[in-house]
Chains A and B, each alone.
Chain A
Amino acid sequence: MNRFLPVALALMIGSPAFAQIGNPAGLAPDTKMQEPGVPAPHQTNNQDRLFAQLAAAGGLAEVEFGKFASTKATTASVKEFAQAMVNDHTDANSKLKELADAAKIPLPDTLDADHRVIRQDLEKAEGKAFDIAYMRSQIIDHQKMAQLLAWELNSGEDAEMQRYAAATLPKVMHHLRMAQNIASELTGQGSREVVASQTKK
């Protein structure tokens, strides 16, 4: 899975000097403070709680679809991608679970309605059509996950949750780019590689 990880992730996790500082207008009214203006660890607002739930639902679906697709897919790159989703999101999900437990946020443990519909559609598709349908659903899911993570980064108040969002976002954008590239290969579109160099042939 190393192929799927962007470089220098460690660098992207903010050092304490670069801790998240939100707009206090969005703090939960009952927030306990560690010091004035700084919420105590694991204090959450509505946004943190919603984020944890939606991110967990997304992560759960990633793993489930990944397992499904890694066996059902026919194209090698799709299989490989699916396996990477299982690995990366299993890690991310357990980290999120830790943070949610610490903040006493219950997380979903079954697919949400949206993902159940996708699952049904994927079950019906076969062969290359399956590969394409899976990759397309992955593009949408990663687009949404990127919005969600960016949202938590500015709207939440649980600093650890926000750092988690900041550290996960580059990975999700990287997955998105990969999904776009694989989908364009499958469908014969030109490469979408947004970061391709001028010099690359």
Chain B
Amino acid sequence: MSPLKLIALSCLVTASAVSLAAFSDPLPPDLTYRPLPTQPFSSVKANDEAQKPKVMERQQTLLNQRYDLSDKAMSNVSMSGGMKKVQEGVRVKLPDGVTWESLADMSPDEIRDKNLLPDGFKPLPHVKQATGGQVFPQKQIDEIGKQEARDLKRFDVDFDLPDHLTPEFPPPIFLTTHPELGDVSRGQLLTIRNFYEYMNGIITPVQMEGLRLLLTPFPQEEFNQTEDRKVAQQSMGVACLDCHSNFNTNAAFHLTPDVRPQASRFRLDTTSLRGMFNQQIHGSKRSLRSVEDFTEFEQRTAYFNGDHVSATRKGVNLPDRPNQVAMMAQMQNIIDFPPAPKLDPLGRLDPAKASEQELMGERVFLGKGRCGECHIPQTSFLDNNMHDLRLERFYNVGYSANDQVAIPDGPIKTFTLRGIKDTPPYLHDGRLLTLADTVEYFNLVLGVKLTQDEKNALVAYMLTL
């Protein structure tokens, strides 16, 4: 073929791509945008209520297949408020015929081809993927109902994890501005009703106004007045601290705002806001560069739906950047991690205070386990980066579980490990229930082949953080 012809050809190939783009692409109009409900509220509610038992049963079946959900608390380790014991042991169930050791000895290809990746390591579906939205644990629903007479209970779904596998409630609050006071929560949940009494004299007027806004409900995707809502009565909405209870987390979950179509959106477990002052990137995917950006943005898209169009229909709140946003951010930025008395100022264990096993755990963490390459002790166990752990090396993507399509997680930001025992479940979607689970997960993903002693030591170490 003459060179001229070749050039003409390659132009043709490009042209085909161009003409394609210009064509009306036959994909459905509601792949990106949320469709309006096609039915009146009353009939949606009736159908939702009829489906609910099956929805909950289906999710329980999935959870029981994946995990040991039993209540096995460590006898001697509590969360920072001292009200709830930390759960122990690996809870992810192994497929038949393998052990954690034999699994770690296989190549990712072999694990994928033999379908041996434990299901508990795979993305965890929302309790009702097709609807998604925020789901609150019962204790939060009860407390907000009692204090504010505001209803956070959905008629279509309930919270799916047992209480003993979630953070203590209400959690303690530690302030960077008052380390000497310790926990200032008085053992209560901060709400719009009580915050002024509890915080008066401890925080500044600016912080107080920020706190008020963080506790003020605004209409959201499932909690509003339209037929799109999933709460019985027209709702006042949701407040920031309904999920970030006392600035920690109550394990309320949602779907990521950052992915479409709906079936591919991954579950999001609420993160703690402790130590936000040291974090440079925010959101598991969005990598927003400041607490201000995150705060300003969250409400206009109906909290984690990534959908400003639908949110606007429900009544959007656009907090004023120099005043309201700044104050909300400043309040969040004085929330400290819980004390870690065994750590020195650089985040390293003090050999005089730590046990031999904890010290061994630190050595594994910084050495063979490679954890410290991303969770850097000196910077609050963060590296302010996102990493692609590429779990999809171990399984075939595209299968679906409870209507969620498993696609690769892609890059996710490194989470802090300070106060980590206070915030089960773990990973961005809460797919791991205990710290021992996270050790098995990273042992496999990083291919570091830890021994049982080393794994135990890592768990003991993480409990000191």
Contact = CB atoms under 8 A, between A and B. Distances in A.
Interface centre among B37, B44, B49, B403 (most CB of A within 10 A): B403
B447 interface: yes
Q: Is the interface of A mostly helix, strand, loop or mixed?
A: helix
B383 interface: no
Contacts of B20: 114, 117-118, 140
Interface in A111-156: 112-114, 117-118, 121-122, 124-127, 129, 132-133, 136-137, 140, 144, 146-148, 150-151, 153-155
Interface stretch (A71-79, A88-96, A193-201): A193-201
Chain A, interface residues (CB within 8 Å), range: 35 or more
Contact of A133 (B1, B13, B50, B108): B13
A38 interface: yes
Contacts of A21: 51, 54-55, 58, 128, 130, 403
Contacts of A198: 108, 393, 447
A144 B23 CA distance: 14
A27 B45 CA distance: 12
A19 B58 CA distance: 8
A166 interface: yes
Interface stretch (A10-18, A62-70, A99-107): A10-18
A170 B12 CA distance: 32
A46 B39 CA distance: 13
Interface stretch (B260-268, B295-303, B326-334): B260-268
B87 to A, nearest CB: 27
B405 A37 contact: no
B206 interface: no
Interface in B40-81: 43-44, 46-51, 54-55, 57-58, 61-62
A133 B11 CA distance: 11
Contact of A136 (B9, B13, B54): B13
A129 B108 contact: no
Interface stretch (B28-36, B278-286, B348-356, B413-421): B28-36
A126 to B, nearest CB: 7
A117 B128 contact: no
B393 A151 contact: no
B128 A153 contact: no
B397 A173 contact: yes
A1 interface: no
A40 interface: no
A126 B405 contact: no
Given A12-B400, A18-B58, A197 B38 contact: no
Contacts of A133: 12-13, 16
Given A24-B44, A25-B38, A28-B38, A54 B28 contact: yes
B181 interface: no
Contact of B403 (A51, A153, A170): A153
A36 B13 CA distance: 53
Contacts of B44: 24-25
A170 B397 contact: yes
A141 to B, nearest CB: 10
B99 interface: no
A12 to B, nearest CB: 4
A84 interface: no
Contacts of A6: 396, 398
B434 to A, nearest CB: 25
A23 B38 CA distance: 11
A22 interface: yes
A7 B115 contact: yes
B25 interface: yes
A53 B83 CA distance: 57
B115 A26 contact: no
Nearest to A114: B23
Contacts of B293: none
Interface string B384-406: 00000010110011111111010
B149 interface: no
A54 B262 CA distance: 18
A121 B16 contact: yes
B389 to A, nearest CB: 12
Given A18-B62, A121-B19, 14 more contacts: A18-B402, A22-B403, A25-B38, A25-B39, A25-B228, A54-B28, A129-B9, A148-B27, A150-B262, A150-B405, A153-B263, A155-B28, A195-B108, A195-B392
| Pairs of residues from A and B, 6 with the lowest C-beta to C-beta distance, nearest first | A37-B50, A36-B50, A173-B398, A24-B47, A121-B16, A170-B398
